[in-house]
Structure 1
Amino acid sequence: MAISNVSFDTLGPFLVWQFLIPVAAGWAQSILYSIFIRAGDPKPQPGTPRFIKHRRNILIAIYAAYFAFTIYEVDFNLQRSSNAYNDLGVPLDVDESALNTRFRRLTIRYHPDKIGPNVDRERANDFYVHLKRAKDIIMDPVKRFAYDRFGPSIFAQCQSCLTIKDYTDSALLTTATTYGVLFIILVGANALGFLTDGSYWRYLGLLAVATFEIRTALRPDYPTFLSKYLNPFVARTNLRPPYLPFQIITILKKAAISLTQFLGLLMPLYRSDPQHAAKTNDDTEDTRHKQLDRLSALVAESNKDANRLLELESVPYRDNERAKGELREALKKYMVQNVVHQEKEVRNAMGEVMMRRRTGVPHGAVGTK
């Protein structure tokens, strides 16, 4: 069961990032076009710059929404899971006296010998044992240190641990093994040409989370941003119970994985062709000659088409060479003034030339400087 859960937790988000979101983006783009483009108006065709821009914006919006959802999901699951402090109803900085007082009240309420006759005594006994185990963890400075930083799984992982050093060494060994395996997998994938997009962010995220986890394990106090900023904020707003260090580490791991997926999928969207990696620039002399040959052939073919059109338009004046010549000149003038001059680049070039010619000329003068 645990293996299936791990597999789903690992493969599920990967399938969503890589496959489901692109499919959803295609559906969303079709629906948005049907809503915002009037019937009869042309829709952007796949492969056009406008279509690619719309697809990129939709993908970014969906990726960002799913990234926020993954963070909310892991935080929601942490709130639903068992927490020694929350189960006992005590703050994170509770002392021994306050803890004993609180547990006596819970004993009066939940002890199997003090509950009503209609309550399942077996379940009540299990819950009371759970509360007592939580109290024992918080009362013991060594177990409390380990619980706050590594979570309840540390006690099953290191059943023979007795000191803080034992728990810390066990946790650091697991952390080093986990991040070492991930690092080797990333290096191997990059060497084979996989996961190259956003590889820098993957390594940076891996290093950042590993550094934070090791720092939390080695220091006797909570991380500064957690104790001075995040927990006071959630306490004032009553958004949720305060965070323990192991909960923050769990959220950061999920956030790092999701963020590297997000960045790795975001980078190809800003290439000229979102479906393919940017190609290297082949600017050799042979390539330039081939491009010039293709351009010359294109210009020659365009001249042939233009001459055929002129001949076709001048058919009615076949016997009148003078009228034929005047028609050709008029057509050329029309094409220059109404086609070429309408091009944005041509208008900009003409404007720049006029500005250079009149620079420094007195107002009202006609100069050629």
Structure 2
Amino acid sequence: MWSLLRAAADESNVLAPFIAWSVFPVIGTTLALRFAYSSHFLAQPKTPAQASQHQTYARAIIVGAYLLYSLLGALVAVFRPEVANHYALLGIAYDDDGDAIKKSFRKLARQYHPDKLTDANRETGEAFFLLIRKAHDTLTDPMTRFAYDRFGPAVLDWREPKTLREYMQHGFKESILFYVFNPLFHTVLIWIHGSRVDSYWRFAHPIVTAAIEYYVLSRPVRPQLLARLFPLMTPREYVLILHHFYTALIMAFAQLGPLFPPRQYGPANAAEKQQLEAAALGLAEGIKMLSRAAEAEAGGLLVRELEPFRAPTKSKAKTLPEAAASAAAAHTASKSKNTTTGSEKESSSSSSALTNAQQTWIQLLSDRIFYMRLEAAPVVRELVRVEVAKAALERNRTAAAGNVGKSTGSPRQDKEKVSVGAVPVGAETS
């Protein structure tokens, strides 16, 4: 059992985590319930529903405990001596420069160089010297160091990349393979196991994990939070832990999903569903009726509001007598109609009909007066001109008579001459 659990922490073994997550929760739940019942920590179930509830809660606790164990195991696996990174081998910090790397290598070389070793520890010492030599060569080259920090010791076997851009492209291609084959493999195994494969988290989890990995690897420096929590780790080790978390969470969701199905909202049975549908239809019909009534009321209010601004009905009458006859007929018709419909309705209808007739008659009368004024305007202008001419002629005659009297000395004779030579006004104007 413990060997299986340790194998589940190995990233390269894809099948081991699935086997461990399939076996351990079942065995752990059985043992936990047996211990709880035997120690009287939990009473024996009296009904099948209670037994199922105990089984569900115990399974959830075991799955949560194993998930925590898997996450802690992933952290511990990174610090194992056999998988120590080059910084740990040389005993330097992640941010140390090339001088610190060379100084640490010289110090270790004086101790583990093959010429300094005895026969007792020569084999292990030579192997360790080769490791620190490789670490020194890797970290002193800035390009190789940058690629090693993000993609691990595998970059030493890459022959094609020559530039930093090529290293990053090759490394991201390797990372994409993890998010292609692992989710597909887990989906197939979960489908065989009988769980749902269309869960939202089963699709969202790989996307979120890939986004975090891209963020960690594409930055020129380590994320500040991770650097404070794990100062001795490289970005590649952060990614390894992230992959362990991904696998553990996928398996945990597969175990907890059947235990806690999604809550169903809506009717519990077919009869209740039919009742709800009938109530919904009745409510919709009532809403339609209210909507129609509201539209009719709104239309009536709009008509009453716009009534004062409506143009009067144009009468077909062409003369004043015809307009008067039409108004009288409309007034008589409104009176007869109002007599049959009631006093209140009678007054409103009569006033409305009489008002329209009066408006038509007044319109025709005003038009007639306007045309008459236009026709009389030339005559009035001519009369005014004649009166002005008469006044001017009278003034001229008076002035001429005064001049004649002064010259002859006899006003009477002058007056007679003026009266004899004068022309009658009526004859001139005619």
Q: CA RMSD in A?
A: 3.5
User: TM-score of the superposition, structure 2-length normalised?
Assistant: 0.54
The higher radius of gyration belongs to 2
86, 91, 102: which one aligns with 2:93: 91
Code of the aligned partner of 1:36: H
Distance in 2 (CA, whole Å) between partners of 1:100 and 1:121 is 23
Q: State the secondary structure of the residue aligned to 2:74.
A: helix
Question: Alpha-carbon deviations, 1:187-243, whole Å to 9, x = none?
Answer: 77899996426822222221122112222332211123212x3135xxxxxxxxx22
Is 1:107 matched with 2:106?
no
Q: What is the aligned partner in structure 1 of residue 240 from structure 2?
A: 250
Structure 1 residues 214 and 135, CA gap change in structure 2 (3 angstroms): same
CA distance in 2, matches of 1:280, 1:55: 27
State the SS of the aligned residue for 2:14: helix
- Where structure 2 has 5 or more consecutive residues not aligned to the other structure, the ranges are 1-6, 276-430
> 2:78 is matched with which residue?
78
Residue identity opposite 1:14 in structure 2: F
Do structure 1's residue 284 and structure 2's residue 270 form an aligned pair?
A: yes
SS at match of 1:124: helix
TM-aligned CA deviation for residue 144 of structure 1: 0.7
Distance 2:235 2:173 in 1: 18
Q: Is the 8 A contact 2:17 2:247 kept in 1?
A: no
| Cα pair 2:191 2:197 within 8 Å, conserved | no
1:231 matched to 2:235? The reply is: no
Corresponding residue number in structure 1 for 2:178: 178
Provide the residue aligned with 2:167 in structure 1.
167
Bigger relative contact order (CA 8 A; separation at least 6): 1
Q: 2:11–2:243: 8 Å Cα contact kept in structure 1?
A: no
User: Counterparts in 2 of 1:147-158, with a 5 A limit?
Assistant: 147-156=148-157, 158=158
Given that 1:198 and 1:260 are in contact with CA atoms closer than 8 Å, whether structure 2 keeps it comes out as no
What is the one-letter code of the residue matched to 2:196?
T
Instruction: Give yes or no for contact 1:142–1:164 (8 Å, CA) kept in 2.
Output: yes
What one-letter code is carried by the residue in structure 1 that aligns with 2:22?
Q
Q: 1:192 to 1:34 in 2, by over 3 A?
A: closer
CA-CA distance at 1:8 after TM superposition: 8.7
- Counterpart Cα distance in 2 of 1:191 and 1:28: 27
Pair 8,278 (structure 1): closer, same or farther in 2 beyond 3 Å: farther
Q: 1:77 to 1:192 in 2, by over 3 A?
A: closer
> 5 Å matches for 1:1-369?
9-36=13-40, 43-45=44-46, 47-48=48-49, 50-80=50-80, 81-115=83-117, 117-156=118-157, 158-182=158-182, 195-196=195-196, 199-227=199-227, 229-231=228-230, 242-271=232-261, 283-285=269-271
Q: Which runs of 5+ in 1 are unaligned?
A: 233-241, 290-369
SS of 1:268's equivalent?
A: coil
The answer on whether the counterparts of 1:197 and 1:267 sit within 8 Å (CA) in structure 2 is no
One-letter amino acid of the structure 2 residue matched with residue 34 of structure 1: S
Q: How many residue pairs are counted as aligned between the two chains?
A: 266
Q: Give CA-to-partner distance per residue, 1:64-88, whole Å, 9 cap, x none.
A: 1111111222222221113101011
- Contact kept, 8 Å, 1:148 with 1:244, in 2: the verdict is yes
Q: TM-score, normalised by structure 1?
A: 0.63
